[in-house]
């Protein structure tokens, strides 16, 4: 799906009180909340010229394929940023697929053995993988790891803490990591961040 098609699906799900995948009450509630978060970022997040410039140096067309789901909070924080990056250059074609509809694809891009999303897969024109990123920035991942170490699992309190972190960071950790990938994905060398 394109970003517009994904957002159209997102809106229809919220309006119908539904979600993708197995429709649990929690996932339905997160879908509605994530739609609001995503729309807020669509309105407020913009790259600086300094941040946008390196993406414009890409010489080959790339597909940035993102595995995501509307109920995924990290996806709601990431997809608007990836969309803004794709808007900076005609060399990036952003596409989104739903994790639960593509289990074989997801299983090929696990993170530490889990189906964590969002997962960005950067492909060249021949569909060779140039790099991957996700499911969240290194800084956000460290927050998750530290919390799990201390409390054993992720709970509602941590989800609120992570959201506050996202609000304070304003996408800068993600942008910084994706910018660090430019030399690698420009040269066609495979790398995972």
The whole domain housing 60 covers 3-192
Going from the C-alpha of 159 to that of each of 56, 110, 180, the distances in angstroms are 35, 22, 27
Q: Please list the alpha-helical segments (H only) found in 119-171.
A: 138-151, 156-169
Q: How many domains does the chain have?
A: 1
- Residue 191's pLDDT is 45
Helix (H) or strand (E) holding 50: helix 49-55
User: For 129, phi and psi rounded to 5 degrees?
Assistant: -75, 120
Q: Does the pTM of the predicted model rise above 0.85?
A: yes
| pLDDT under 70: residue ranges of the chain | 187-193
pLDDT in tens, 31-79: 999 999 999 999 999 999 999 999 999 999 999 999 999 999 999 999 9
- Residue 193's pLDDT is 42
Domain containing residue 127: CATH number: 3.40.30.10
């Amino acid at each position: 799906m394109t970003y517009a098609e994904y957002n159209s699906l997102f809106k229809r799900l919220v309006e119908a009180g539904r979600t993708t995948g197995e429709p649990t009450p929690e996932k339905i509630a997160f879908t509605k909340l994530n739609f609001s978060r995503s729309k807020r970022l669509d309105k407020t997040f913009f790259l600086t010229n300094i941040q946008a410039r390196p993406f414009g140096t890409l010489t080959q067309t790339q597909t940035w394929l993102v595995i995501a789901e509307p109920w995924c909070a990290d996806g709601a924080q990431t997809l608007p940023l990836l969309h803004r990056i794709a808007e900076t250059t005609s060399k990036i074609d952003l596409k989104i697929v739903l994790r639960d509809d593509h289990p074989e694809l997801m299983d090929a891009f696990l993170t530490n053995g889990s189906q964590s999303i969002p997962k960005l897969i950067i492909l060249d024109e021949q569909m060779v993988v140039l790099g991957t990123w996700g499911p969240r920035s290194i800084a956000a991942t460290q927050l998750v790891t530290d919390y799990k170490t201390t409390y054993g699992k992720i709970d509602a309190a941590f989800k609120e803490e992570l959201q506050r972190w996202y609000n304070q960071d304003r996408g800068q950790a993600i942008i910084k990591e994706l910018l660090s990938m430019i030399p690698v994905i420009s040269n066609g060398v495979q790398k995972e961040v």
